[in-house]
Structure 1
Amino acid sequence: MEDSKKDIPTRGYADRSLFVENDEDYLLVAQVYVDDIVFGATTDARAIEFFKEMKKEFEMSMVGELAFFLGLQVKQKKEGIFISQEKYARNIVKKFGLDSKKHASTPMSSSTKLNLDSSGVEVSPTLYRSIIGSLLYLTVSRPDIAFSVGVCARYQVASKESHLTIVKHIIRYVNGTPNYGSWYSKYSNACLASYLDADWAGSVDD
């Protein structure tokens, strides 16, 4: 006799609030955040069925197609999905008072060599960490600033004016590119490719 039970959803290892149900006929992914659930399936029938199953267990309502979630703006098209944080990016620029400053053309100059700057003038660690934290969340959809923010994040313990100048430069770059994001094409290769150019030999600090 054939077993009619569905495959048991697997829980994410890195993200314990992510659940995946991989069946022969469909793929269902559900992300839980506090009292919100974002889910999608490769078939409309399974998506609707999942909603009905959840509604039996919890008091909930279907908001509709995903368009905005935790600062992420999602545009779903036939060709793929575009994820951006335009509203969040503009809020960052305004929050740190750089909305009227000249835009920067790149996140960081290729000639910039940050170091501990032991003799430099100290700045508010609270301000510096607040900027870094805000920018780190922006990297969710902005891989173009990930390296620059990562380098600046190393100096949160004893941040100096030289470090603050660079993070403000990144924000000025964001100010000129708030609508940038990540495009996931329906027809592109699903495999993730990463590249690294780490010049540790050129490190000024060690």
Structure 2
Amino acid sequence: MAFKSSMMQAFDMTDLGKMRFFLGVEVLQNPGEIFICQRKYATNVLKKFAMLESKPVKNPIVPGSKINKDVGGIEIDDTHYKQIVGSLMYLSATRPDIMYNISLISRYMSKPTELHLQAAKRILRYLRGTVGYGILYKQGGDDELIAFTDSDYSSGAVSWMSKKQPIVSLSTTEAEFIVVAASACQAV
């Protein structure tokens, strides 16, 4: 409180209380925890692309499906597609659960086809059912650094990344080892 008073004397400023919104990010502060999400922005994205009344799905991508260049596919308006992908990219600030899928569809922004648009709409349908998802930061705890790798998603994410592995692994075990090593390097 003393810091705030000294700042108000030195600078022309107003105390607006606890932060609630910042650049489209909703901040909910409760004793011992802070939850950040983009519920309002997500709802606006769904309205903008006429997906607010769509049927929600449980996965942002069809399990087992592969997205490729779709060379012979029907081309679509790339401006509309880029708007969808850009809107989804902004959402990834508080939604690491959709980051990998967004990175997949963003590879095909130069010549998108119906296949790519369907994949983007699938993410929007997933978003429809998970509008309130975000990141929860809790006070206290064990003071341990906990790292999650693969597709695990934890509350309180500090850093995440999604990229193709630079080498080809011969087994699932080897692939997991590579991911754990990368995670350890980032933690250090």
Which TM bucket (shorter chain)?
A: 0.7 to 0.9
SS class of match (1:61):
coil
**What does 1:101-140 align with in structure 2 at a 5 Å threshold?**
101-140=54-93
Give the corresponding residue for 1:151. 104
d(CA) in 1 for partners of 2:144 and 2:84? 33
1:51 and 2:7 aligned: yes
d(CA) in 2 for partners of 1:199 and 1:160? 26
d(CA) in 2 for partners of 1:180 and 1:90? 12
Higher strand share: 1
- Identity, % of aligned positions: 35
d(CA) in 1 for partners of 2:95 and 2:135? 7
d(CA) in 2 for partners of 1:151 and 1:50? 49
Higher helix share: 2
SS class of match (1:127):
helix
Deviation, 1:175, is 0.7
State which of 40, 49, 52 in structure 2 corresponds to 1:87: 40
1:193 and 2:150 aligned: no
SS class of match (1:126):
helix
SS class of match (1:75):
strand
Measured on the aligned residues, the alpha-carbon RMSD in Å equals 2.2
What is the TM-score with the length of structure 1 in the denominator?
Answer: 0.68
Alignment deviations for residues 94-141 of structure 1 (CA, whole Å, 9 cap, x no partner): 110011211111111231200011111101110010000000010111
Shift of the 64–165 alpha-carbon distance from structure 1 to 2, 3 Å rule, reads same
SS class of match (1:175):
helix
d(CA) in 1 for partners of 2:101 and 2:147? 19
1:66 and 2:19 aligned: yes
Unmatched segments (≥5 aa) in structure 2: 152-163, 170-188
Give the corresponding residue for 2:179. none
| Count of paired positions | 155
Unmatched segments (≥5 aa) in structure 1: 1-43
Give the corresponding residue for 2:123. 170
Q: Which has the higher contact order (CA 8 A, sep 6+)?
A: 2
Shift of the 98–196 alpha-carbon distance from structure 1 to 2, 3 Å rule, reads same
Flag the structure with larger Rg: 1
